[in-house]
Structure 1
Amino acid sequence: MANLTTIILTKNEEMNIKNCIQSVQNVSKRIIVIDSFSSDLTVEIAKSLGAEVYQNEFVNYGNQFQYALDNTNIKTQWVFRFDADERLTKESSSEIEKLCFENRDTDINGIIFKLEVNFLGRKLKHGGTYPFKKLCIFKTGHAFMETRSMDEQIVLLNGKAIEMKSISEHKDYRDLTYWISKHNWYATRAAKDYLDFENEKIDYNNLDFSAKIRRFLKYKLYYKMPQGTRSLIYFIYRYIIKLGFLDGKEGYYYAFFQAYWYRVLVDAKIFEAKKNNTKIDEAGSLN
């Protein structure tokens, strides 16, 4: 078992939380759930599996995660940000334990986590989604999470990050209706994030390489293109250039919804806010 605390943020995750917690039990000394006052059985299930549950009103992911760091007395060497719809495999669990042990006394202060995206029941291998990489594991006191409305990243204060070899699973058991609702919520947050930083210098310092590339492409390329054409270019990039069509119908729907629904919705919300000279407030929790 690694000297590791796993933090999971939840709101009505009764369909996901059991498998999520069970997948990290063998590698985590502590499992902490920060719940946004779920109305389903999320809290009861988490407690029954030995997780420590705290409840806090949701503002955004950055604030919620920082609440966990500030209020749960974490004393393990490592911290792991883990989502309720993610699952460790036997291979990724073993690798996390190995990397945490091997880097107890090195300047490696972060570990980049790899995921496969599951959409409509299919594991997507193309379209620029495989594998999805994010810095999720870090030494306590050596990193913080940005307080942005969307696309918040864990940022190392010092040291270096290494990348895992094994790939974990992303698997939400809820349906397309929920996915659409969630991405409407994401779109509000993404529009607010864009407007908050539209006239600010984008800070890339200390971001891991994958996060740095994603942020650069979003603000220096994507948002510089005309609203009427960038969703088309985005679809062509995902579905054709990055071979999303090889993932069958699921790959088509994923690329279509990402480009022609989600990204267009973000643009529409930005347009609405500017046209009406209104401010987009924090979206709060999803449900």
Structure 2
Amino acid sequence: MSKNNLSAVILTFNEELHIKRCIESLLPIVDHVYVLDSYSTDSTLDIVSRYDNVSVLKNKFVNHAAQFNHALDSFNINSEWVIRVDADEYIDEDLRVYLKESLCKLPQSISGVYLNRHITFMNKLLRHGGMSDYWILRLWRNGFGRCEQRWMDEHIVLSGGDTIKADGKLIDDNLNTLSWWAHKHVDYSTREAIDIITTELKEQRSSFEAKLFGAKSQRTRLLKNFYNSVPLFIRPFFYFFYRYLFLGGFLDGKQGFLWCFFQGFWYRMMVDAKVFEIKLSAKDGIDVKNVIKNKYGFDI
């Protein structure tokens, strides 16, 4: 693979546990790494500064979609391909070989590449409960990809061209504690509740296509659209049993149960509770946008 063929974009905020692992998994096959930091207060930027072929900018964080598009607009990325990698992710050897040997051979008709994302939870790579073979668009020809405007669960959308699936894995392995994970998902639940409310108000339309026979991320979006049509507080129960029993989450042992419970039930119930809270406050004659801004500090 020739130089200037592939660049990586990483968003960071207090990622001292992960950023070295992430960057060093990419360095053998990328020409440059672009880091957009949200004013980290730990040693993230000190670690990043050790690498010669890494550029850094800072920008106040609003949401992942806006932050990532800001990175695309602000960095002078001149490689043919761009890959998005989260700071707590890394690529395995099979994916590294694919990117090194096969990316430059793709026909011009291909403008996007789906990567197979796997999640590690409490030191266990999850293989069941819907967590394996999660194909997500993370690699695209420069200029063809943008992040859809959402508060949560944002995806890269292509402006044209065909897609292909890559060999290997993109592994999400967050090394923080369960308390940190829970705190992060409390924040995520607010953002997802805002997405649900704004979609119901027809003030947010996604450019990401939900498809039954598309990639798994597209099928997941279709399932989420159906899920959101089910009444509040009932749907988390169905979703937990669907993930844990029907999709075999129990086969991942204790970690499988905890993941399905926290991510598939607790988090979903938190989202529903916040949707309920926002709508309850709006019944008092307060505009929904004002409720969201006053209660959660988000200006939509």
TM superposition score category, shorter chain reference: over 0.9
Deviations 1:241-284 (A, max 9, x none): 00100100000000011232100000000000000014324877
Aligned-partner Cα distance in 2 for 1:203–1:68: 19
Q: Secondary structure at the match of 2:112?
A: strand
Residue number in structure 2 paired with 1:145:
147
Aligned-partner Cα distance in 2 for 1:18–1:138: 24
**Alpha carbons of 1:202 and 1:41: their partners in 2 closer, same or farther (altered >3 Å)?**
closer
Aligned-partner Cα distance in 2 for 1:283–1:261: 23
| RMSD value, Cα | 1.8
Give 1:41 deviation, angstroms: 0.5
Aligned-partner Cα distance in 1 for 2:100–2:38: 29
Deviations 1:58-83 (A, max 9, x none): 11111111111111111100011100
1:246 has 2:251 as partner: yes
Which ranges of structure 2 fall in alignment gaps of 5 or more residues? 283-287
Residue number in structure 2 paired with 1:88:
91
Q: Secondary structure at the match of 1:144?
A: strand
Residue number in structure 1 paired with 2:10:
8
Residue number in structure 1 paired with 2:266:
261
Contact 2:119/2:172, CA 8 A, preserved across alignment: yes
Q: Which deviates more from structure 2 when the two are superposed, residues 29-38 or residues 123-132?
A: 123-132
Contact 2:94/2:167, CA 8 A, preserved across alignment: no
Match of 1:20 among 22, 35, 40: 22
Residue number in structure 2 paired with 1:39:
41
Q: Percent identity?
A: 36
Aligned residue identity for 1:72: F
Give 1:96 deviation, angstroms: 1.8
1:65 has 2:65 as partner: no
**Alpha carbons of 1:141 and 1:203: their partners in 2 closer, same or farther (altered >3 Å)?**
closer
1:214 has 2:220 as partner: yes
Contact 1:8/1:83, CA 8 A, preserved across alignment: yes
Contact 1:155/1:206, CA 8 A, preserved across alignment: no
1:48 has 2:41 as partner: no
Aligned residue identity for 2:177: D
Looking at both structures, which has the greater relative contact order when contacts are Cα pairs under 8 Å and sequence separation is at least 6?
A: 1
Contact 1:9/1:65, CA 8 A, preserved across alignment: yes
Q: How many residues align?
A: 282
What does 1:138-287 correspond to in 2, within 5 Å? Answer: 138-200=140-202, 203-205=207-209, 209-219=215-225, 221-277=226-282, 278-279=288-289, 280-281=292-293
Residue number in structure 1 paired with 2:103:
100
Give 1:144 deviation, angstroms: 1.1
Give 1:210 deviation, angstroms: 2.5
Residue number in structure 1 paired with 2:31:
29
Aligned-partner Cα distance in 2 for 1:199–1:216: 19
Scaled by the length of structure 1, the TM-score of the pair is 0.93
Q: Secondary structure at the match of 2:233?
A: helix
Aligned-partner Cα distance in 1 for 2:105–2:210: 23
Aligned residue identity for 1:47: S
Q: Which deviates more from structure 2 when the two are superposed, residues 105-114 or residues 11-20?
A: 105-114
Deviations 1:8-63 (A, max 9, x none): 00000001000010000011101011000000010110111232111011111111
Aligned-partner Cα distance in 1 for 2:224–2:209: 16
Aligned-partner Cα distance in 2 for 1:215–1:172: 23
Aligned residue identity for 1:64: Q
Aligned-partner Cα distance in 1 for 2:158–2:142: 10
Q: Secondary structure at the match of 1:228?
A: coil
Deviations 1:95-130 (A, max 9, x none): 122332112x42100000112111111111100011
Give 1:155 deviation, angstroms: 0.5
Scaled by the length of structure 2, the TM-score of the pair is 0.89
Moved over 6 A (4+): none
Q: Secondary structure at the match of 1:83?
A: coil
